[in-house]
Amino acid sequence: MIINQANLANMYVALNTIFNAAFEGAPSFHEQIAMVVPSSGRANDYTFMLQFPMLQEWIGDRQIKNLAASSFQIVNKDYEATVEVDRNDIEDDQLGIYNPIVAELGRAAKQHPDLLVAKLLADGFTNTCYDGKPFFAVDHPVGAGVQSNFGGGSATAWYLLDTTRAIRPFIFQRRSKPQLVRQDRPDEEQVFMRRKFRYGVDYRGAAGYGLWQLSYASKQTLNAANYAAARTAMMALKNEAGVPLGIRPSVLVVPPSLETQAKEILQAEMVLADPVSGGTKTNIWRGTADLLVVPWLE
């Protein structure tokens, strides 16, 4: 191929087509458990989310909740990945060897929010949320008391989420969509000095914690009894007035090492009735939540 601006432009169009096809076709889970929110500036303010909207009898004046003392912002960050194409490969019509690399850029761009949300889960035992407590904690302040969304334990962590509402346990904030960009002018310095054309992907966004009440973590052994206890604990959560929040656990999130145990709880029709005497019984927890296996939680 003759290296000129017209041919380089055509090459970019071809690479961009490969990138977009891989991006659209890549599997991704973050929209299943995170609220995807558009952003038009440096940061978004989510103070409005800090109270569950619940109706009450209207007696006298409206009861207005003051959130002025609260602050809940997520600041956008920049993300990128860049590859180089050797000029000799372009001259020798060897661009096919770069197609899989560009396709991987598309896949990585689609799944990067998944990584960010998975990290929120894994770090939720130490990273704080809007109330100053770790996202998974036993002492979230609610009214005059405290409530818990952490089941304790020291084994591999697993998570139970309520994703049935418009508000989700996590937030993915999108400032700009990933796009393939280029530095491919023949007179670029890196082309002159090292025969390298550059192609990359970048976007702006961020991930952050939503409402802790919609997420529960446990490091107890994942079995039917502890799964049932987690569901009960979530559904028992109340607001400041002591009214149940109506939590509905809907997704069980596990790392690959707990996939077998999770499938036994959520998908098996029959389970062992007694480990000593044997026999089977109907699995009452079958279908009570969707299963999400996240590789980045190991």
pLDDT tops 70 at residue 130: yes
Per-residue pLDDT, averaged over 134-150, amounts to 95
| Tokens representing residue 55 in the block | 């109706």
Domain segments of the chain as ranges: 5-50+71-297
Check residues 228 and 8 and name the one with the higher pLDDT: 228
pLDDT tops 70 at residue 43: yes
Q: What is the pLDDT of residue 45?
A: 85
pLDDT tier at 240 (50, 70, 90 boundaries)? confident
Nearest CA among 162, 213, 250 for reference residue 52: 213
pLDDT tops 90 at residue 38: yes
pLDDT tops 80 at residue 191: no
Rounded Cα–Cα distance for residues 57 and 73 (Å):
32
pLDDT tops 70 at residue 61: no
The 3-state secondary structure of the chain reads CCCCHHHHHHHHHHHHHHHHHHHHHCCCCHHHHEEEEECCCCEEECHHHHCCCCCCCCCCCCCCCCCCCCCCEEECEEEEEEEEEEHHHHHCCCHHHHHHHHHHHHHHHHHHHHHHHHHHHHCCCCCECCCCCECCCCCEEECCEEECCEEEECCCCEEEECCCCCCCCEEEEECCCCEEEEECCCCCHHHHHHCEEEEEEEEEEEEEECCHHHEEEEECCCCHHHHHHHHHHHHCCECCCCCECCCCCCEEEECHHHHHHHHHHHCCCEEECCCCCCCEEECCCCCCCEEEECHHHC
The fraction of the chain above a pLDDT of 90, given in percent, is 63
Per-residue pLDDT, averaged over 16-40, amounts to 96
pLDDT tops 90 at residue 138: yes
The chain-wide mean pLDDT, for the chain, equals 88
Rounded Cα–Cα distance for residues 13 and 252 (Å):
41
Per-residue pLDDT, averaged over 171-197, amounts to 83
Q: What is the pLDDT of residue 175?
A: 95
Check residues 55 and 236 and name the one with the higher pLDDT: 236
Per-residue pLDDT tens digits for 241-280: 888 999 999 999 999 999 999 999 999 998 887 777 778 8
Per-residue pLDDT tens digits for 107-119: 999 999 999 999 9
Query: Are the C-beta atoms of residues 184 and 199 closer than 8 Å to each other?
Result: yes
Rounded Cα–Cα distance for residues 126 and 138 (Å):
12
Per-residue pLDDT, averaged over 189-202, amounts to 80
pLDDT tops 70 at residue 205: yes
pLDDT tops 80 at residue 283: yes
Rounded Cα–Cα distance for residues 140 and 209 (Å):
14
Per-residue pLDDT tens digits for 64-117: 454 444 557 899 999 999 988 887 877 766 677 788 999 999 999 999 999 999
